[in-house]
């Protein structure tokens, strides 16, 4: 084998090894995103967009909170968090020490749909649940 061919072969091998390790690192990082909990809280005490910013700034400082959507119109805050770092109760306790009060929204039973009669058929729902669990 010529010297040039050997060099090209080594460069090719190193490039493939680097690409494979980078690809593995990306896949490994995505797996941790599956462990995110989502809770929608009722929020009382918000009267303006400044209040929304205050709630967002407080949520941002809570360890484990990954994302949030605060709605003045609905008086809600949808919070995505890592359950290994914080909990629904901890978020509620921290936010209730501010001017704004967080609580779980009250569900009107008459507005809750029965998936077996009001929604898609059971097989389709089971398929969707499996897709959700598998992260697809």
Residue 132 lies in a domain: no
Average pLDDT over every residue of 12-18: 64
Average pLDDT over every residue of 22-38: 60
Residue 54 lies in a domain: yes
Angle between helices 88-95 and 49-60 (to 10 degrees): 130
Residue 16 lies in a domain: no
**Alpha carbon distance 122, 128 (integer Å):** 10
The CA-based angle 119-123-126, given to 5 degrees, is 85
Residue 118 lies in a domain: no
Percent of the chain with pLDDT over 70: 57
pLDDT at 8: 72
Q: What is this structure's pTM?
A: 0.54
What tokens does 23 get?
Answer: 């690809």
Could you give the number of structural domains in the chain? 1
CATH at residue 51:
3.30.70.100
Task: Specify the higher pLDDT residue, 6 or 30.
Answer: 6
Domain that holds residue 67: 37-108
Residue 23 lies in a domain: no
- Sorted by sequence, the CB contacts under 8 Å of residue 45 that are 6+ apart come out as 51, 99, 100, 101
**Alpha carbon distance 77, 91 (integer Å):** 11
Residue 2 lies in a domain: no
DSSP letters for 68-99: EEEETTTTEEEEEE-TTT--HHHHHHHHTTSS
Residue 32 lies in a domain: no
Residue 131 lies in a domain: no
Average pLDDT over every residue of 61-67: 95
pLDDT tens digit sequence for 83-102:
999 999 999 999 999 889 99
């Amino acid at each position: 084998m010529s010297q040039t061919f050997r060099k090209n072969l080594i460069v090719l091998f190193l490039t493939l090894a680097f690409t494979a390790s980078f690809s593995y690192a990306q896949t490994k990082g995505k797996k941790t995103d599956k462990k995110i909990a989502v809770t929608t809280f009722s929020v009382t005490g918000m009267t303006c967009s400044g209040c929304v910013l205050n709630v967002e700034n407080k949520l941002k400082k809570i360890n484990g909170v990954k994302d949030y959507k605060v709605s003045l119109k609905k008086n809600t805050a949808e919070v995505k968090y890592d359950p290994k770092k914080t909990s629904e109760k901890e978020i509620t306790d921290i936010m209730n020490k501010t001017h704004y009060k967080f609580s779980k929204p009250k569900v009107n039973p008459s507005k809750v749909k029965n998936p077996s009669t009001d929604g898609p058929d059971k097989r389709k729902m089971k398929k969707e649940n499996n897709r959700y669990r598998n992260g697809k």
